[in-house]
Amino acid sequence: MLQILSHEAATSAVAYDPDGASIVTGSDDGALRLWDAASGELRATLTGHEGGIRSVGFSPDGRNIISSANDGTVRIWDVAEAESLASAGGR
């Protein structure tokens, strides 16, 4: 079993991509981390939320991650580029 130890705060959200090859985790530290599901290797760290992550999920094709956080924002992330494509909401 994969142990997620690299967040600076508690892991608050987890999702597998549709083909099971990647895992995204979100944390109370406001970061998302993208992991290789087989090896446990950290592939990318996604930052941009200013509050703890509340939910994460992959798009049906696995090319995007959607996240929401305590800062009131929802973000869409490009998995291949490991960058934010769009953000909505906020305080």
DSSP assignment of 20-80: SSEEEEEETTS-EEEEETTT--EEEEE---SS-EEEEEE-TTSSEEEEEETTSEEEEEETT
Q: Spell out the domain ranges in the chain.
A: 11-89
Q: What is the pLDDT of residue 5?
A: 53
Q: What is the pLDDT of residue 55?
A: 97
Q: What is the pLDDT of residue 1?
A: 45
The kind and range of the H/E element at 15 are strand 11-16
C-beta separation of 88 from 69 below 8 A: no
Task: Return the CATH class of domain 11-89.
Answer: mainly beta
Q: What is the pLDDT of residue 12?
A: 83
pLDDT in tens, the chain (91 residues): 455 556 667 778 999 999 999 999 999 999 999 999 999 899 999 999 999 999 999 999 999 999 999 999 999 999 999 999 999 997 6
